[in-house]
Structure 1
Amino acid sequence: MTNVIETRGLVKRYGDLTAVDHVDIAVPQGTFFGLLGPNGAGKTTTLELIEGIREPDEGEALIFGEKVWPRNRALLPRIGVQLQASAFFERLTVAEQLRCFAELYAVPLTRIDRMIELVGLEDKRTVRTEDLSGGQKQRLSIACSLIHDPEIVFLDEPTAALDPQARRNLWDVLRAINAEGRTVVLTTHYMDEAEILCDQIAIIDRGKILTTDTPRNLITGLGAAYRILLSEGAVSEEEANRLPGVESASLDNGTLALTTHEPSPVLTALAERDALHGLQVTSATLEDVFLTLTGREYRA
């Protein structure tokens, strides 16, 4: 597949701080790409370098094979950008906001209705932006970034501070954007979000890319054990430790937890003992990968 975004040895310094440290990224066309990292890892700065908002100190970023810096105005109609903090024109309705962006980009006004429908704001089209909820403002911000029908969309923490329902609704919007053939680049602190939405993920910390792969490969590569949880009394702790494939078994607060790297023989043995009622199986997640690579210490 053709790479529509590439960075080569990208570096950005602020005094003694190297915020982006020789970053190499390649994003194929049509990919939903996630950039994950702790606070201050360099995610937003990396996006701003790729978008052409900031000048790199070293290296280069390319979109569609063209350098983005010096500021490449020819690329602007082909990309859409949703920043961490969005500001709207005061006292304008949803439809009026989108009309302003449509006229700035000189696109047909018919795009307004299409965008309102895409982000699910049909019943809010005459509502002023200051009266929208947080989730509705985020959806409007995404609609503004899409009004000119860009081929690539950059989304910097679009679901930050949203409640679970608003987040899930926005996920549907993001899936629809990608399903239309657009390349989507996302930063987020929500590991479940990245695991569900992204085709490919890069994890960045202290300005360096630590790894890049699919969510499934990252999780599988961790090699973490499965945990099988049973209600107390399903089998005894002693018997559980003798089951084929079980590496350890412990009883805590009425739950028997079995650890194994090979769940199939364990589940077969439990089925033979009619001990599957209420059983739960948990495996490693992208959050486990993230914490293993970046550490568990608190980052302000």
Structure 2
Amino acid sequence: MTQTEVIKVDHISKHFREQLALKDLNFSIKQGEIFGFLGPSGAGKTTTIKILTGQLEQTSGDAMVLGRSVNKINESIYEQIGIVTHNSGIYEKLSVYSNLEIFASILNIDKKRINEILKRVGLYKDRKKKAKKLSQGMRQRLVLARAILHEPKVLFLDEPTSGLDPSTSMQIHKLLIELKNKGTAIFLTTHNMEEAAKLCDNLALLNDGKIVEAGSPKDICLRYDKNKRYKVLLRNNEEMILPQSIETAEKIDQWMGQNDLLTIHSCEPTLEEVFLEVTGRELV
């Protein structure tokens, strides 16, 4: 079954006075795909989200979201997209439930869905708590709940797990996978390469506003696996890294025959190592 293309970016660039923030971006995202847009702080990730959601106008090029040019986005498209950014505001003096109730009223959503979503993000027991009393992780989950309350076709997430504890991050990851499986296209920005490798079907590495590498996480890592090596652990707890060669193959065959081989892993580079190689920059 052919998946529908829901986002298409065609030669997008963005200037801020003398600074070129985005340089000739090209990519597309399909229905039911998690697309990672990865890079360090200041690389242009948030700027891209603002252009794709109609909050900022590009200098050149065009982009389509759900078949509509980003230059022609109006209020109706916000009924089909969800946005989670660092400046996604919540009503501090209202309860968790009331925050979602307002949004449900605006979009004519059955209020029965509010409790359903609160249970999914682990906030149901705190539904009567004032938003100002929430922890950072709980606030992040509330913003996410609001963004998916109307079951959007496209979800924009700007570093949704930044600063969250591992347990909360895992809850959010599980929810994102469920949304993807239901057909939601997810545009995820992050500088957490481990998170991206776990979640993303495809991704682009961004550096100084330019895409420097793109593809699936596995394909990108294998593309830079120039010195193929294998890490093995033997029954006697001896651990070693061996190059790809006929001799290594013979040793592995022998260890397997003697039931001495406990584990074997390929040593392709991580996404973070690939990023460092193609940009010369650390992820900060």
Q: TM-score, normalised by structure 2?
A: 0.88
- TM-aligned CA deviation for residue 74 of structure 1: 2.8
Show the counterpart of 1:268: 253
Residues 107-256 of structure 1: matches in 2 within 5 Å?
107-224=109-226, 225-230=228-233, 256=240
Q: Verify the 8 A CA contact 1:232 1:256 in the aligned structure 2.
A: no
For structure 2, the residue ranges without an aligned partner over 5 or more in a row are none
Return the letter of the residue paired with 2:275.
F
Return the letter of the residue paired with 2:242.
L
Show the counterpart of 1:252: none
Return the letter of the residue paired with 2:231.
I
The alignment partner of 1:21 has SS state of strand
- The separation in 2 between residues aligned to 1:73 and 1:193, in whole angstroms, is 32
Identity %: 31
Task: Specify whether residues 234 and 156 from structure 1 end up closer, same or farther in structure 2 by C-alpha distance, changes over 3 A only.
Answer: closer
- The separation in 1 between residues aligned to 2:277 and 2:135, in whole angstroms, is 36
Show the counterpart of 1:290: 275
The alignment partner of 2:261 has SS state of coil
- The separation in 2 between residues aligned to 1:264 and 1:125, in whole angstroms, is 59
Return the letter of the residue paired with 2:261.
L
- The separation in 2 between residues aligned to 1:99 and 1:177, in whole angstroms, is 21
More deviation, 5-14/129-138: 129-138
The alignment partner of 1:69 has SS state of helix
Q: CA RMSD in A?
A: 2.4
The alignment partner of 2:144 has SS state of helix
Q: Verify the 8 A CA contact 2:13 2:23 in the aligned structure 1.
A: yes
- TM-aligned CA deviation for residue 194 of structure 1: 0.8
- TM-aligned CA deviation for residue 202 of structure 1: 1.2
Q: Verify the 8 A CA contact 1:41 1:207 in the aligned structure 2.
A: yes
Return the letter of the residue paired with 1:143.
A
Task: Specify whether residues 261 and 153 from structure 1 end up closer, same or farther in structure 2 by C-alpha distance, changes over 3 A only.
Answer: farther
- The separation in 2 between residues aligned to 1:234 and 1:122, in whole angstroms, is 48
The alignment partner of 1:168 has SS state of helix
Task: Specify whether residues 299 and 291 from structure 1 end up closer, same or farther in structure 2 by C-alpha distance, changes over 3 A only.
Answer: closer
CA-to-partner distance for each residue in 1:230-252, whole Å, 9 max, x for gaps?
Answer: 479767xxxxxxxxxxxxxxxxx
Show the counterpart of 1:238: none
- TM-aligned CA deviation for residue 13 of structure 1: 0.8
Return the letter of the residue paired with 1:20.
L
Q: Which has the greater radius of gyration?
A: 1
Number of residue pairs matched by the alignment? 279
Show the counterpart of 1:7: 9
The alignment partner of 2:71 has SS state of coil
Show the counterpart of 1:81: 83
